[in-house]
Amino acid sequence: MKTIAITGSGGFVGTNIKNFFSKKDFEIISIRREDIKNSSKLKEIINKADIVINLAGANIINRWTDSYKKELYSSRIDTTSALVQAMASVENKPKLFISTSAVGIYSNKDCYDEESFEYANDFLAKLCQDWEKEAFKAKEYEIRTAIFRFGIVLGKGGALKKMLLPFKLGVGGTIGDGNQHFSFIHIEDLLNAYKFLIENIDLNGVFNLTAPTPTTNKGLTQALGKALNRPTIFPVPEFVLNMIFSEGAKVLTDGQCVKPKRLVDGGFIFKHTTIENSINSLIKENE
């Protein structure tokens, strides 16, 4: 039986990963916040782990005050640094380290994959770059290291749960003009991508964790409206989101177009390739 140690296990993605791999006879050890701050306890956990999955990080959808930006940074970079230091120190080093990043690292000027890209020049992109740089230090200790750059994860709960209520009430609509890109991943494909990476020991480096067919906010809105049989005529003005989230509104108003070239080239097969397929399958689960 292989052992997975995981940070951020109480979140939406972390909970799904725990449940998924527990059913496949993996032993799961949750790394708590207090464990990160206790180096001896953290080393004890890491020493038992075959695989370390790092999902820790404060919620990106929030008002980005100066203090919250510091929390966004420290909850990712400091946690990742502590994990790498623990892995470097233990006798039984894990065979695989899977850390996390986000498609917010990319510019919104074009559609990008892992090999043809342009990084944005804003707080989120710089945060992702520093996060990835910290994670890749694990390679210095001969640990296979991979990073999943998440799109918006759609599943039973999470972001979709927050989206559904206004649409069910008939007041759903686009954000602004709706033309901003929306790169997403169905939770089922996300879980299978982790399994695929664990099983294929020649894979490492950066992987975009997004469906092969990105859409726009308008495409998402139309798919939700059609699946729920509700109107989508009430756009949310961008200035309202700016008032609520300040700089953090960029996550909602300024999306990226991203494709998972390295997963596809590696032989991974997506089950949910379009927004329509993803939304339809999830609406049935949420009913």
State residue 221's pLDDT score: 87
Position 222 in a domain: no
State residue 174's pLDDT score: 81
CATH code (residue 97)? 3.40.50.720
CA dihedral sign, ordered 271, 273, 278, 281 = negative
Position 265 in a domain: yes
State residue 208's pLDDT score: 98
Position 229 in a domain: no
Distance from C-alpha of 248 to C-alpha of 66, rounded to nearest angstrom: 11
Position 80 in a domain: yes
Q: Which amino acid is residue 186, in one-letter code?
A: H
Position 92 in a domain: yes
pTM (predicted TM-score): 0.93
* Average pLDDT, 10 consecutive residues per value, the chain (287 residues): 95 96 96 96 98 94 88 96 98 98 95 95 95 98 98 87 75 80 96 98 98 93 88 70 61 84 98 95 73
Position 195 in a domain: yes
> 167 is in which domain, residue-wise?
3-217+243-286
Residue of 223, 234, 195, 190 whose CA lies nearest to 208 = 190
Position 163 in a domain: yes
State residue 83's pLDDT score: 98
Position 238 in a domain: no
State residue 28's pLDDT score: 98
State residue 101's pLDDT score: 97
State residue 246's pLDDT score: 63
Domain count, the chain: 1
Residue of 21, 74, 284 whose CA lies nearest to 164 = 284
